[in-house]
Structure 1
Amino acid sequence: MLGTVLTAATTAVVAAPAAGLLARRGIIRSRNARLLGITGARGIDERYFARIGGIDQWLSVRGEDRTNPVIVELHGGPGSVNSILMNRTRDWERHFTLVRWDMRGAGKTLRRSGADGQGELTFARLLADAVEVVEHVRARLGTARVIVLGHSFGSALGLRLARSHPQLVAAYVGTDQKVFDGGRDTSDYAALLDRLQRAGKKKELAAVRKMGPDARAWTAEQHSHFSRFASATDPQTFGAMKSVVMKSLWYSPLHSLRELITFFQGFKVSAEMLPGTAGFDDWADGTRFEVPFFVVQGADDLVNTAARARSLFDAVQAPVKEFTLIEDAGHFAAYKHPDRFLDFLQTRVRPTLTHTGPDAATGFAPSSTAATDV
C-alpha cells in the first residue's frame, strides 16, 4: 500500500552522484553486516527457504540465546518486508529470538518464484501461511508458544492468529495496529479530505472524493491510492519512510540492488488482496482473547490512528492487556524508536510469560489492564 510513497521518498536517499552513492552504500553495508554478526555458542543465525503453503518462503531466525522467548514478526504492506530493518532492531535479538518472514508476494519469497509463482494471494491464504510458519518455528526451535508481533497490515493477520490459535501464542503484540470495522467509521476518509484540501492538493482531493467514503467499493488501485495519499500527508509517517524505511532498505546487507526493485514490486503484486479485506469487522469476529494482548501505537499516526486502535483495545477481553503510545512517532513507531519498543517488550510483555525456555507450555501472569506512554 505504501509503495508509491516509498518510491517518492527514495529521492531523498539517492540524491548524490551515482559513483559516490554506491561507494558509500558498500561501506555502510559492510559495517552493518559486521554489526549483525552472531558468534556466541548459544546464538542462532539462520536464513533459509521453507516450504510454506506449497511454495518456498523465506525465513530468518536470529538471536543471541536460543533459550530466549521467540517472537514471530508479521510484516506490513501488504507486500512490504521487515527484513530490511535488521540493523535497527539488532538489540531486540539480545533478549529475544526474532523470526522474520517474507510473505508470499513480498521480498525474497517473491524473488524466489516470481510474481506468477506466488499462488493464491488472498488474506485467508496469508493467514493460513502464518499459522504454518508458527508451527514450523515451534518445531524448529522446540518451543511450545511464540510471541506474535503484528506490524501494520501484518497486525490484522496477527490479531486473527492469536484469537483462533491461542495454543500457539504466548502473547500478542500489535504495532501500527490495523483495525477493520466493516466500513462503519469513515473518519479517516474525512480527515484525509481535510488534509488534502488544506495542502492544496486538488488532483488528489478530486481522486479521493471520486472514490467515496465506502472502502468496500474501492478497487485494489484505489486502496493503494488512499494509503499513498494518507501517508504523504502525514508528516511523521513520511519522515519515517525516508529516515527509517528507505535508508534501511538502501543500506541493508541482506539485499542486493536487484532486490531493491523486488521490494517495490511486492506492493503492486500484493495489492490485489486489499478489496477482500475492506468488509472485515474485528468486533464481529470476536474481541475475546485467551492470551496477553498488547497494542503499541505511534501517538501521531494518521495512517492507522491511535484512536481507532484504542477503540478496539477497549472492547478486547484478555487475561492481560495494555495499550501504549510512543510519542514523537507516527507509522513505523516501533522501528523509529526501537529502544523504546524493546523496553516495552522487556518490562511489559516478557513479565507475562511464565517460562521462556524451549519445550515450555508458556502461560501468562494474573490479569491486568493499563495504558502507558513511552
Structure 2
Amino acid sequence: MKAHDFCLYLSKPEMIGCISMVSAMINKGKNVKLKSESLMIGGAEQWIHYNEAHLHEPLILFLHGGPGVVQVPMLTRYCQPLYENFLLVHWDQRGAGRSYHFFDKTDLTVPLLVNDGVELARVLCQKFKKNKVILLGHSWGTALGVLMCNASPGLFHKYIGIGQVGNWLKGEHISYHYTRDQALERKQYVAVKILDKIGPPPYRNIVELLIQRTLLIRFGGGMYSGKSALNMIPEYVLWGKSSFLRIPQVTAGSWYSTASLWEQCLAIDLNLLAPELQVPVCFITGRYDYQIPFACAEEYFNNLVAPEKQWYWFENSAHTPFIEETDKFNRLVVNEILSDRNRFL
C-alpha cells in the first residue's frame, strides 16, 4: 500500500477525533504558564520548562517519551495538580523539542542521554537548592530514568515510571501481534494487509514503525479511547503562540531522535541492564497498554530488586494514564505516591 492510500485509510476517524479534542480542550481552560530557559548540559544547549511560583516545593524531573517526543503541552493541560504541589521540570532531551538544533549532527546514543540526565539532575539540585530529585518518566523516558537511577542512585529520592519499559524488543513483538489480532477481530482487512506487508519487528525503517503505531493507537493499544497521535496536535496549537511556531522544530526533533536511537532502544532489556536499583520505584500501568506492553513491565517489576516497589493499575487506560484517567492519576501521585512531602524536600 502506498503512503497516500494509507493516509486516506486513516484520515476520516483521526481528523474527526482531532476536531473533537480541539473543542474539548477549548472548554477545558488554559494551561499552566511556565518559564523556559536553556542550560549547558554535556556541552550542548538544552532546554527546561518549569513553574517559577513553586521553587520551594519538592523537585520532579519529567523524562518525556519518544524518543524525541516532548510533552510540555500535555503536562500543563492534564497534570495541573502536579504543578500546584511540586516544582515540576520538563526537560527537552538532547535532540528533542527546543533542544533540537537543525544543523547539529551530534550522534545520539543512549549512554549520552543518560549522562545528560544525570548531569542535569545535579545542575537542578544546585540551581534550586535541593538535595535530591524525584524522577517521573513516560515510555522511552522510563528506560532513561531507570538507567539514570542505576548510574547515580544517590541523586534520586524516588523513581516513577508511566508505561514502563522492560525488554524492549520483546515488547515490540507483543505490540505487533496484538495490533494484527485486533485488525482481524474487527475485520479491518486493509490493516491486516498493511501489517503483513511490513512484517513483525524489527522494522526496516521508521515509516514502518509509525504505521504499526498508528494502527495500534487506532485499535486502542496506545490510547484506550482509540484517539490517534493526530489528536495531540491541538495540544501544541492551543498551548501558545511560541509553541505553535515551534511545531516544525518539535516534529523534526522527534523524527531525528527516533531515527537515531531506535535500534539502540531495541537492544534495551532492563532485566539485564538494571536488575537491581538502590532507589524506591513505582510503576503506573495502563491495563490496555500495548505500545510499551504491560506484560514486559510486569516481568521487569517482578524481577527487579529495589528498596521499595509499588505497582498501580489504571483500568481504563492504555499507554497514557495521565491523559486517559487524569483525575485518578493526579490524586494518586499527589496524595499517595508523593504524599510525604517533607521526605522529598
TM-score of the pair, normalised by structure 2: 0.83
The answer as to 2:211 corresponding to 1:225 is: yes
> In 1, are the aligned partners of 2:14 and 2:231 still within 8 Å (CA)?
no
| RMSD across aligned positions (CA) | 3.2
Letter of the 1:233 partner, please give it.
F
Mean CA deviation greater in 86-95 or 234-243: 234-243
**1:75 equivalent in structure 2:** 64
Over the matched positions of the two proteins, sequence identity in percent amounts to: 21
**2:121 equivalent in structure 1:** 134
Q: 2:48 aligns with which of 54, 59, 62?
A: 59
> In 2, are the aligned partners of 1:71 and 1:98 still within 8 Å (CA)?
yes
**2:97 equivalent in structure 1:** 107
Q: 2:308 aligns with which of 313, 316, 320?
A: 320
1:351 and 1:258, CA in 2 relative to 1: closer, same or farther beyond 3 A? closer
Count residues in correspondence. 331
Q: 2:42, 2:258 → 1: CA distance?
A: 19
- 1:241-300 per-position Cα deviation (integer Å, ceiling 9, x unaligned): 479733322211264433233333333222211012212221111321111110001122
Tell me, what secondary structure is at the counterpart of 2:344?
coil
Q: 2:172, 2:218 → 1: CA distance?
A: 21
The answer as to 2:25 corresponding to 1:36 is: no
**1:11 equivalent in structure 2:** 15
Q: CA deviation at 1:156?
A: 1.0
Letter of the 1:253 partner, please give it.
G
Letter of the 1:221 partner, please give it.
V
**1:91 equivalent in structure 2:** 81
**1:50 equivalent in structure 2:** 39
Tell me, what secondary structure is at the counterpart of 1:300?
coil
> In 1, are the aligned partners of 2:39 and 2:45 still within 8 Å (CA)?
yes
Q: 2:140, 2:341 → 1: CA distance?
A: 26
* Structure with the higher fraction of residues in helix conformation: 2
Tell me, what secondary structure is at the counterpart of 1:355?
helix
> In 1, are the aligned partners of 2:46 and 2:93 still within 8 Å (CA)?
yes
**1:275 equivalent in structure 2:** 263
**1:342 equivalent in structure 2:** 330
Q: 1:302 aligns with which of 284, 290, 294?
A: 290
TM-score of the pair, normalised by structure 1: 0.77
- Specify every segment of 5 or more residues in structure 1 that has no aligned partner in the other structure, as ranges: 38-44, 358-374
**1:362 equivalent in structure 2:** none
Q: 2:341, 2:217 → 1: CA distance?
A: 35
> In 1, are the aligned partners of 2:179 and 2:216 still within 8 Å (CA)?
yes
> In 1, are the aligned partners of 2:17 and 2:231 still within 8 Å (CA)?
no
1:95 and 1:354, CA in 2 relative to 1: closer, same or farther beyond 3 A? closer
Q: CA deviation at 1:240?
A: 4.6
- 1:209-246 per-position Cα deviation (integer Å, ceiling 9, x unaligned): 3444452x643433333323322222634645479733
> In 2, are the aligned partners of 1:63 and 1:96 still within 8 Å (CA)?
no
Letter of the 1:77 partner, please give it.
G
Q: 2:199, 2:228 → 1: CA distance?
A: 27
Q: CA deviation at 1:202?
A: 4.2
Letter of the 1:229 partner, please give it.
L
